[in-house]
Chains A and B, each alone.
Chain A
Amino acid sequence: MNKMILGRYLPGDTWLHRLDPRTKISISFYFIVIIFFANNVLSYALLLAFTFGVIFSSGINQKFFFNGVRPLFLLILITVFFQLFLTRGGHIYWSFGPFALSQYGIRSSIYVFLRFMMIILMSTLLMLTTAPLMIADAIESLLSPLKRIHFPIDQIALMISLALRFVPTLMDETITIMNAQRARGVDFSDGGLIKRIKAMIPVLIPLFVNTFSRAGDLGTAMESRGYSGEGERTRYRKLTWARRDNIAWAVMLLLTGLLFILRN
């Protein structure tokens, strides 16, 4: 249950944990963009060296990290497979029906693989070192200019916090209802497909009813305390931009400069 609140967050105190979540999110997106500028062996080598440099210097548990990302690689392999056999061009080594193994196919599938690998490694590192609530705060802060065009970013941030707060409540409630129905003789693990889905009916009815009545109560409570969704909110957790965030961005700009020297 805690797994769902924390996501894949690993509490810790490494330099990556201490960076402002806004820095981490903006740098991750920036990195994903510059990956697409790499176009030869040297530029890919530079980005790979940077990615692994960040991972090894971050001080997070390497074994845990690489075990965690392994299942994600299966998905990339599917993409690479399509890229490999469906792209044509250059020398063709082998072909069968719509499938062909060509020079361009091999090259582009290696590049696609590296690109996805770096994106996965970097975004996993972001998730592991930043708590979901901090990511939500950072997204709210980064998207706050959208308030000018009346995009309800405050309300979205509040809904994220509400949702995170309701994870344990709803998990407990689902488990309690399932146990209560088991005690009345409902069997969730027997019978065919339709029978098993039908066994969910006595779980979902109380769950939905409770949800509606709780939403009414909490909504009334919020409005009676003056919540309107329009005023400026003050906050308990404040994000602070420190010198290390400037340094992180300076490193990124340096990396971009090097990348443009190495690419052709």
Chain B
Amino acid sequence: MGKTHARDMVLIAEFAIILAILSQITIPFGPVPFTLQTFGVMLLGSTLKPKQSIFSVLLYLLLGLIGLPVFAGGVGGVTQFINPLTGFLLAFVPGAALLSLWIQKFGRPDKLNIGAHLLSSLLILLLGTIWLKFFTHGTWSSAFLAAFVPFIVPELLKAAVASLLALKLRPIIYRVKAS
């Protein structure tokens, strides 16, 4: 990480907690109530700098590892890191990294960058499914049926809404930072 400025450290810590708070907000939608957890990951990825977003997500995972109930559903602890669904949590890091790197390198802050958001949510789903497959020693088809297919539509929808929201947030953040 090298030398990090105090301001960045505070920002990383604060956004890790914002992600924890968003994970606790549930929106009942059809049979599956869904949380703003992956939504929060994408918002962080598309509004923060790559280093800030990656470390925020890593810190969030670390807070969960030391037992704080920061994950969706108010859970936390070592056991969240040794179960079939751990892959989704770990995938948040490359998911946020992909998004913020993309926006920094090719994206325009004043555009939707919807492709990057969709790709990031697909990456999270895919990595989570791969973990599930190897963790349970099951077959590819059963892993995809259990963890990929049912979530593809809501996740892509969340990605689309996240890109909309980030578009509104980005100019305001740049204004605050400039002042």
Q: Cβ of A86 and Cβ of B62 under 8 Å apart?
A: no
Q: Is there contact, CB below 8 Å, between B139 and A170?
A: no
Alpha-carbon distance between A230 and B1 when the two chains are bound, in angstroms? 13
Q: Does B29 contact A (CB under 8 A)?
A: yes
In contact, B4 and A155 (Cβ under 8 angstroms) = yes
Is there an interface contact between A166 and B13, defined as CB atoms closer than 8 Å? yes
Which listed residue (A98, A139, A215, A223) contacts B14, Cβ 8 A? A215
What are the residues of chain B within 8 A of A75 when measuring CB–CB? Answer: 79, 83-85
B119 CB–A CB distance under 8 Å: no
On chain A, the residues within 8 Å of B43 by CB distance are 204
Q: Is A194 an interface residue (CB 8 A)?
A: yes
Whose C-beta in chain B lies nearest to the C-beta of A82? B136
Which of B21, B29, B79, B169 is the one whose CB lies under 8 Å from A119?
Answer: B79
B123 at the interface (CB under 8 A from A): no
Which chain A residues lie closer than 8 Å to B36 at the CB level? Answer: 197, 200
In the complex, whether B135 has a CB less than 8 A from a CB of chain A is yes
Kindly state whether residue B173 has any CB partner on chain A within 8 Å.
yes
Interface check B130, CB cutoff 8 A: no
Mask of A182-199 contacts with B, CB within 8 angstroms, 1/0: 000000000001101110
Interface size on B, residues (CB 8 A): 61
Cα–Cα distance between A4 and B12 once the two chains are bound (Å): 18
Which residue of B55, B136, B139 has the most chain A CB atoms within 10 A of its CB atom?
Answer: B136
Q: A163-B63, A230-B3 are in contact. Are A207 and B18 (CB under 8 A)?
A: yes
Would B21 and A174 count as touching, CB distance under 8 A? Answer: yes
Q: Taking chain B's interface residues, is the majority helix, strand, or loop, or is none over half, making it mixed?
A: helix
- Contacting residues, chain B, for A198 (C-beta < 8 A): 161
Check if B105 is an interface residue, CB within 8 A of chain A. no
Size bin of chain A's contact surface:
35 or more
User: How close is A261's CB to chain B, nearest CB, in angstroms?
Assistant: 28
Is residue B76 contacting chain A, with contact meaning CB distance below 8 A?
A: yes
Alpha-carbon distance between A43 and B16 when the two chains are bound, in angstroms: 42
Tell me the residues in window 40-84 of chain B with beta carbons closer than 8 Å to chain A beta carbons: 43, 47, 55, 59, 62-63, 66-70, 74, 76-79, 82-84
**Chain B residues with Cβ under 8 A from A196's Cβ?**
27
CB-nearest residue of chain B relative to A211?
B14
Q: In the assembled complex, which residues on chain A have CB atoms less than 8 Å from the CB atom of B47?
A: 208
A215 and B10 contact, Cβ closer than 8 Å, known pairs A124-B79, A171-B21, A205-B172: yes
Q: Are A208 and B172 in contact (CB under 8 A)?
A: yes
| The residue from A79, A160, A166, A200 contacting B62, defined by CB atoms under 8 A apart | A160
A236 within 8 A of B: no
B residues less than 8 Å from A174 (CB atoms): 21
A78 to B83, CA, bound (A): 9
Q: Mark B12-47, 1 if CB is under 8 A from A, else 0.
A: 111111101100010101000000100100010001
**Contacting residue for B66 out of A76, A116, A135, CB 8 A:** A135
Cβ of B11 under 8 Å from chain A: yes
CB-based contact B39/A197 at 8 Å: yes
Q: What's the Cα separation between A194 and B158 when bound, in Å?
A: 9
A159 located at the interface, meaning its Cβ lies under 8 Å from any Cβ of chain B in the complex = yes
**Once the chains bind, are B14 and A124 in contact (CB under 8 Å)?**
no
Closest CB in chain B relative to A3 CB, distance in Å: 7
CB distance from A35 to the nearest CB of B (A): 11
Task: Kindly list chain B residues whose C-beta atoms are within 8 Å of the C-beta of A171.
Answer: 21
Q: Which parts of A193-230 form the interface with B (CB within 8 Å)?
A: 193-194, 196-198, 200-201, 204-205, 207-209, 211-216, 218-220, 222-223, 227, 229-230
Tell me, yes or no, whether A100 is within 8 Å of chain B by CB: no
Q: Is A12 engaged at the interface, CB distance under 8 Å to the other chain?
A: no
Most chain B beta-carbon contacts within 10 A, residue among A4, A163, A166, A220: A163
- Does A7 touch B at the CB level, under 8 Å? yes
8 closest Cβ pairs, A-B complex:
A219-B7, A162-B13, A82-B136, A127-B67, A222-B6, A215-B11, A123-B78, A219-B6
